[in-house]
């Protein structure tokens, strides 16, 4: 879910992977691995991503829908 949300947020903001990586202070290849799902970010990078994209960490992790509603498992 994280990989899909990162790509969606980046495309909606019309920014490149390179610009996103620079803003986060990480290597381009590292960001590409986050967006492809090959790697998971640390909590501090996840928080920076949420701030950069203007969303919550729960949204990026798939714990909230686009409308901000909580999802609960049975």
Cα separation of the two ends of the chain = 19
Residue 67 located in a structural domain = no
- The answer to whether residue 39 is domain-embedded is yes
Domain contains 68:
no
**Position 74 in a domain:** no
In-domain check, residue 32 = yes
What's the number of CA atoms in the CB half-sphere (13 Å) around residue 58? 10
**73 lies in a domain?**
no
Q: Which domain holds residue 46?
A: 2-61
CATH of the domain at 19: 1.10.260.40
* Residue 69 pLDDT: 47
Q: Give me the number of domains the chain comprises.
A: 1
CA 60 centroid distance within chain: 5
pLDDT for 66: 64
Written as tens digits, the pLDDT of the chain (74 aa) is 999 999 999 999 999 999 999 999 999 999 999 999 999 999 999 999 999 999 999 999 999 876 454 444 44
């Amino acid at each position: 879910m994280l990989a899909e949300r990162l790509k969606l947020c980046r495309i909606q903001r019309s920014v490149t992977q390179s610009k996103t990586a620079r803003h986060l202070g990480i290597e381009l290849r590292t960001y590409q691995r986050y967006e492809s799902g090959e790697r998971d970010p640390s909590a501090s990078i996840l928080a920076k991503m949420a701030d950069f994209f203007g969303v919550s960490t729960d949204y990026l992790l798939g714990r909230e829908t686009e409308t901000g509603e909580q999802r609960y498992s049975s």
